[in-house]
Amino acid sequence: MKQSLFASRILYGKELEVRTNQVVTMVNGKIESIEGGNACDADLVLSEAYTLLPGMIDCHTHLALDARIPGHLDLMEDSEAKQTIRALKVIKDNLQAGITGLRCVGDRYYLDVLLRDMVSSGELEGPWMQVAGIGMKGMHGHGYVGKSFSGVEEFRRQARLNIYNHTDYLKIFITAGAPPVGSTVTCFLTRDEVSTVVKEAKACGLKTSAHCIGGEGLRYCTEEGIDVLDHCYWVDDADIALIKRHESTVCFTPGVFMDDSRLPLCPEGHVQSVLRTRDEVVRRLSSLVSQKPKFVIGSDAYHTYLFKEIEYMVELGMERKEALKGITVYAGELMERAVGSLEVGYNADLIAVKQDPLTIENALSKVDFVMREGKIVKSLGVQA
């Protein structure tokens, strides 16, 4: 199927370059051409007030964990049926918010694999997904969406079971979620356990991701070849040097500590930890941002609110355009998909907003037009 869309303003290519009066032609869900033109040259016309840009990609989320719900952490003990129903709502909500891609880093029951495949086959409408299956944590460690293992052979077996179930990633939880009371970040896995997961993944051409806030766990992850370090809330100068030296990708999720609207939905202990350490977390994350590591951005299951993370990254010292790349261009590159950029050959995953996302705070909070692989799923602001 071939169709064309006229937009008076687009953010083009990997540099999010502003171009005006463009006709985007799509064939079978992919962008065939982007050329200057007029509204009369197109099948669909986007209102002059709108900016067209790539769909957002949430690079750290969970399908059955919904941080919008009070007591959401305890709900990870729900039945498979309840978690699947919750995940179905999450998928719909994200797509309507303009999030056309998800990197899911741990869910129970392999429901993420099932739902990814249903979206891919067209049985279910939603964002495309890359999924990690069962997150692997230590018997005594952190990870609400993970399952517990102990010893190299248990980690090896679960890594292989995840691969057998066709996951895209392998995910480990190596440190606590909150910063320590003292100076030492507890590490819940051994170096050999980390190395085993990495080797199993690489043998099958998969990437790895680790919940890691810093310390010894971060050293194990970087030195053993974990591809993505999620969170990094408590990094010091030595940690940052390791991240840079090993060219690890950081997945920033600053809203967990910087967004007050999340606090009433969390356990009191977590809230107190956030309030106690917030200023120091912001300082450490700002230091990391200043060193310009490879990065992407995620909401950590605060579904539909990915746009807020852009503002927190700006507060941490990142340029707004660079932060936008973290949920579009860089996200697509990390996941090695033709997504995240408005250019020829890429999937027609497109959104439109009235305010300029390059200059206006929270411009992505209200997405009126959403297209997934050339199919319109939200049509405000467009005329046939």
What is the per-residue pLDDT across 76-107, written as a single tens digit (0 to 9) for each? 999 999 999 999 999 999 999 999 999 999 99
- Rounded to the nearest angstrom, the gap between the alpha carbon of residue 74 and the centroid of all alpha carbons in its chain is 22
Task: For the chain, list the domains and their CATH numbers.
Answer: 2-55+340-383 (2.30.40.10), 56-334 (3.20.20.140)
Whole-number mean pLDDT of the chain? 96
- 302: pLDDT confidence band, cut at 50, 70 and 90? very high
- The answer, yes or no, to whether residue 139 has pLDDT greater than 90, is yes
| pLDDT tens readout for residues 163-205 | 999 999 999 999 998 888 777 899 999 999 999 999 999 999 9
78: nearest Cα among 18, 145, 14, 130: 145
DSSP string, 58-75: EEEE-SS--TTSTTTTGG
Sign of CA dihedral 165, 168, 172, 176: negative
Q: What is residue 348's predicted lDDT score, i.e. its pLDDT?
A: 98
| Among the listed residues 363, 240, 354, the one whose alpha carbon sits nearest the alpha carbon of residue 290 | 240
Q: What is the separation of C-alpha 360 from the centre of its chain, rounded to a whole number of angstroms?
A: 22
**260, containing H or E segment:** none
Global pTM?
Answer: 0.97
Q: Average pLDDT for residues 280-308, to the nearest whole number?
A: 98
Confidence class for position 64, pLDDT limits 50, 70, 90: very high
Strand ordering across the sheet containing 169-173: 146-149, 135-138, 169-173, 207-212, 228-231, 249-252, 294-297
Across 111-168, where does the E strand assignment appear?
A: 128-131, 135-138, 146-149
Q: What size, in residues, is the chain? A: 384
